[in-house]
Structure 1
Amino acid sequence: MILLLFCLGTPSFAVAQVTDGQKNGPLKIIVLGDSLSAGYKLPREAAFTSQLETALKAEGYDVAVPNTGVSGETTTGGLSRLDWLLADKPSLMIVELGANDGLRGIDPARTRENLDRILMRLKEAGIPAVLAGMMAPRNLGQEYGRVFDAIYPELAEKHDVPLYPFFLDGVAMDPKLNQEDGMHPTAEGVAVIVTRILPTITQALDRIKAGTP
């Protein structure tokens, strides 16, 4: 299961080195994420990664967006498989993790540490990132929510990466755009997500292609 709510902000960007393979072939976008990006109970073509790839190609971008999301993924799990994903030589990584940490009541300090290490590892590898923030379930208490929610804007500022404002903007709490569990978007809901996140991703890709910070 994943949590519906995300917390977001204004993008900035860090310098990344583009390899010859990235210049000469499709820009590979890897999503380090959970069931939102994995397309829980959706056909393959309706998953976030597939719809994002289709939308970017329609905008004229030569990209490949494989489905690398794992349902139930936590920040600990994402960190543990990061090197495996980096071996695929991504041009850009979208970090969409933490919802399951909050859902399980994991100590926010551990979530922060894991995301911090993920973003640091990406910076060391010269891989630009887009960070999708999360909000803690409100039934865990005001203090837990305050500490957890602050993780994402603070780490985005620390590592100078774009923070997408709200991953489920226009979708959360809308029964017409969510499956029966009320947490996972339908194919139509994913389409809304892709439409709204697209400017952030295209901005990141334009900076990668231009080699600008």
Structure 2
Amino acid sequence: MEAESIYSAVAINDIPWVTIILTLVMGATHLVSPTITPLSYTILAPWMHAGFNHLWQNLLVFVLLGTLVERRVGLVTFLLFAVLIPYLALHLPVVFEYGGPSRGASGLTMTLTGYAIPALVVDLAERIESFEADARDVALGIGILLVLIYLSLDVWVTVQRFAGIQSRPDGVAVSAHATGLVLGVLWFGWRVLRHDLDNA
């Protein structure tokens, strides 16, 4: 009986609640499709999307990286981060006039990317140091490496677009992406200073 309750507690704590709730908020906001006004934009911009393709592409990355980061930093820290950061990523370009108004969770997903890349590099380095040649370790190492390659390519495209090396596609919030990326890297660096590299 006691073992079952301990198992249940562990299982409940492993669930990425913030990621699940914010995913539902984005889905519900898309279904309700509120009229865009100055007030609704200010309040709902990070959770509004320009069509189903925009929504699912953001959700795919958000669910994967959100789960990873939430489990790494904890529910409360991730909640504060995931609610504050997307507003900064979308509104800073407008306030400082280096980008226009945009909507969607792209700023948040790029922040998660900026945080996840160094976190995954640290994780991969630790796995290499304690490597055992079993199928599970090899599969996890290859999986982390593939995710790192994908995220790094996405970052490279964002940097090129923001710097003007590549053209900015219509409908892509490049300034929000770049802002989110910088915020994610800064957040990881701040956590390294506070908690050390292994626990950032």
Q: Which structure: greater helix fraction? A: 2
Q: What is the TM-score when the length of structure 1 is the normalising length?
A: 0.30
Larger RCO of the pair (alpha carbons < 8 Å, separation 6+) = 1
**Which structure has the bigger radius of gyration?**
2
